[in-house]
Amino acid sequence: MAEVVDVRAKVLAANEEAAARLRGTFRTSGALVLNLISSPGSGKTTLLETTVKALAGRLRLAGIEGDVATERDADRLRAMGIPAVQILTGGACHLDARQVRKAIDEAAFPAFDVLFIENVGNLICPTSYDLGEDFKVALLSVTEGDDKPFKYPAIFSRAEVTVITKADLLPHVAFDMDAVRGQLATLAPSGAVLVTSAKTGEGIAEWCALLERRLAAKREAGA
Amino acid sequence: MHELSIAQEIYRTSRAAVAGHGAGRLETVKVAVGELSAVEPDLLVFAWQALTQGGPDAESELKVEWRPARQFCAGCNADKPRSPGSWLRLCPQCGMALAVSGGDELDVLQVTFLPDEAAGEGGVADG
């Protein structure tokens, strides 16, 4: 005779417990933590390089870079003068909280105000895994097309901030900004949308102001 | 493609849930998968089959309950139907802007477990 066992458990409970412990660590240290998610080549690392330059001397930054292969992204951040560690997933399509914990423990970063976790380039799988971040940031470059929020609703509905990148290319591509804003309003009504270009600097000051505002709010709430 | 990692977590959770029930095999595992969970039900079932193949739970079945996201209209006080995988920006009836909500479930709901007969309640000891 079969026995019926009620479970009612989250599938990713183990990851979520690890994420909750990370969140506790970052609450204690008063650091703002972002989980950046986008398709490959949308400009996550370039946005971070530009951010490091724009915030020079104002905030202490650190980076965790997730990639299937190569240390290239961590090297790019270190070349900008911030501590960075590379997580090589060897084929896995996302980072999970236990990998981030291990990276944090091994990296022994000097004290930081903002930690950027750059996820593996992928609009789908990283969505499911909480990394203990304060919020998720989705990036969408104008060359990817203006239909992406509705095509990848899971990430764009969970991202508190969507950063449109490569806005300098807008004259050269068919990208309907109003359509994108409309889709994002449906998926994430309270989310913020920033239009940026690392090349011209458009929107970078607003992006940095958002980081400073969120960091101040977190520290005020924790004080 | 992270359905295999998800299937492994479901298997681990299911086995932990029946750990106190002695030896035996899983019969069915019921899970809820939301439309915005970033998990594809068919791929999850294929991953389950690949994962359990050749083991004690090879005969088990993963049953997926699909949980769609909602598009509720406050103007009409009703959920608005839409074709699968599509979204409405405005209510087709009253034109009010609609938001997406829910659909982020990814839960193990229930496990049915078949205890080995030797471990059953008969208590007949081996000779």
Between B22 and A34, the more confident residue is A34
pLDDT above 70 covers a percentage of chain A that reads: 100
ipTM for the assembly: 0.88
Domain that holds residue A211: 13-218
- Give per-residue pLDDT as tens, A76-102: 999 999 999 999 998 889 999 999 999
φ, ψ (nearest 5 deg) of residue A78: -65, -35
Going by pLDDT thresholds of 50, 70 and 90, the confidence category of residue A222 is: confident
All residues of chain A having their beta carbon less than 8 Å from the beta carbon of residue B14 are: 7
Please state, in angstroms and rounded to a whole number, the distance separating the CA atoms of residues A200 and A198.
Answer: 6
pLDDT in tens, A171-200: 999 999 999 999 999 999 999 999 999 999
- What is the CATH classification number for the domain harbouring A86? 3.40.50.300
Report the C-alpha gap between B23 and B27 in whole angstroms: 13
In a domain, A18, yes or no: yes
> Considering only CA atoms, which of A168, A162, A163, A164 is closest in space to residue A145?
A164
Residue A2 in any domain: the answer is no
Q: Is A201 a domain residue?
A: yes
For residue A5, tell me if it sits in a domain: no
> Coil, strand or helix: which one is A170?
helix
Q: What total of structural domains would you count in chain A?
A: 1
Mean pLDDT along residues B8-24: 95
Nearest residue on chain B to A190, alpha-carbon basis: B99
Domains, chain B, in order of start with CATH, read 3-116 (3.30.2320.80)
In a domain, A140, yes or no: yes
Domain presence at residue A170: yes
Pick from A1, A4, A5 the residue to mutate for testing the B interface (most B CBs within 10 Å): A5
Whether the CB-CB separation of A85 and A103 falls below 8 Å is answered with yes
Please write the tens of the pLDDT for every residue from A98-136: 999 999 999 999 999 999 999 999 999 999 999 999 999
Considering the domain boundaries, does residue A6 fall inside one?
no
